[in-house]
Amino acid sequence: MSEFSSRLIAWQKVHGRHDLPWQNTTDPYAIWVSEIMLQQTQVAAVIGYYAKFMQRFPDIATLANATQEEVLQYWSGLGYYSRARNLHKAAITIMDIHGGEFPQNFDTIQTLSGIGRSTAAAIASFAFNQIQTILDGNVKRVLARHFLVEGWPSHPKIEKELWARAENLLPESQMIAYTQGLMDLGATLCTRSKPKCADCPLIDSCAAYKQQRVHQLPTPKPRKAIPEKNTTMLILVRGDDVMLEKRPPTGIWGGLWSFPEADISENLPELAYSRFGISTQFTQSLPQLSHAFTHFKLHIQPQQLTVLSNNSQVNEAGYLWLNIDDAIGAAIPTPVRKILQTLQLNLTSTHFSD
DNA sequence: GAACCGTGGTC
DNA sequence: TGACCAAGGTT
């Protein structure tokens, strides 16, 4: 066994994490669900969701027999909702194709929706004690430092090298402690900022530490200049209600409720009449806010319009009048929630001043 | 190969 | 406080 793996395993047994909700089991389903929830998501955010999900969907058959809508309901708030759709889809696949038993073959596991090489390795090692290496963000950081690998770790060329190094380090046994040790080391000692090198079991062989370059690694993702966009949101207020519009099922905020949008140059009451057949009066501009996405920054100018007459009601699918309090509790993105809260404060103070 | 997909925490 | 990131995978 390599010095790397033996020291890591010994360290994990003493200093690693042993009481997370998905540990101390070899049930592939329980491990699978945890690994999907933990993709790009921190442990603290997962724990509450995991307990409720496992209580409602305790096994593969229960999950497969549930509706996608209910699975998404239990995922609501976790983000990356394709994970939930793929989890559900894969459960059905296991029932239909694999006789209801989670497959043990490493390549077969990777054919399931939402399971790539790293997640498959986590399941295979934790549930079936197979000799397969994970390569998640923790492991990339540990290896980039230990072997002084420069370049963004998720660049295909760099990632290929890290996969090869990770494979070379694998022990011949004790895969549960080893895999967990890789994660624990990255999560508790070899952190991005303020790494605790003095406590690290691998300090003697760490190339970055030897050159005092730990803080420089891993190389951050190259950032391209992001464009900025402007939009106007129409806040149509009818009494205590506001109008919401359902966004398309894919794309930014896909499937969520938001305000109708307009080009900032447009005449808003006229636009509201032509689009919705509603007579409105401009009331006020609400504070502008900005929201950062991965690839662009959005500047939002909310414009409040008061509904004057309601001769033509908006009854089409995809539109909704909701009481402001109810709207805040609906499936809305964060900027919409902020606008609603501003609106709520304005209306409250208006009532007091009347 | 690069864009896309959510949210919350950290500094 | 805006940038950066976290138990990645799919298109």
Q: Quick one: which residue's CA is nearest to B2's C1'? A: A155
Quick one: what percent of chain A has pLDDT higher than 70? 93
Q: Tell me the two tokens of residue A313.
A: 């009601």
- The model's pLDDT over A274-321, given as tens digits with 9 standing for 90+, comes to 888 899 999 998 888 877 766 667 788 899 999 997 655 566 778 889
* Nucleotide of closest approach to A112 (CA, C1'): C9
Q: Quick one: which residue's CA is nearest to B1's C1'? A: A156
- The model's pLDDT over A117-144, given as tens digits with 9 standing for 90+, comes to 999 999 999 999 999 999 999 999 999 9
Quick one: what percent of chain A has pLDDT higher than 90? 66
Cβ A92 vs Cβ A60: under 8 Å: no
Strand C contact with A186 (CB < 7 A) = yes
* Nucleotide of closest approach to A20 (CA, C1'): C7
Catalytic (active-site) positions of A = 35
Instruction: Return positions of chain C under 7 A from a protein CB.
Output: 2-10
* Nucleotide of closest approach to A192 (CA, C1'): C5
- Tell me the mean pLDDT in the region A172-193: 95
Give the pLDDT band (50/70/90) at residue A76.
confident
Q: Tell me the two tokens of residue A349.
A: 């103070």
- Tell me the mean pLDDT in the region A262-268: 79
Instruction: Report the footprint of strand B: residues with C-beta closer than 7 angstroms.
Output: A 40-42, 44-45, 77-82, 155-157, 193-194, 224, 250-252, 254, 293-295, 333-334
In this prediction, residue A353 carries a pLDDT of: 39
Distance A323 CA to C7 C1' (A): 40
> What CA–CA distance (Å, rounded) separates A11 from A7?
6
- The model's pLDDT over A213-252, given as tens digits with 9 standing for 90+, comes to 999 999 999 877 667 778 889 999 999 999 999 877 666 7
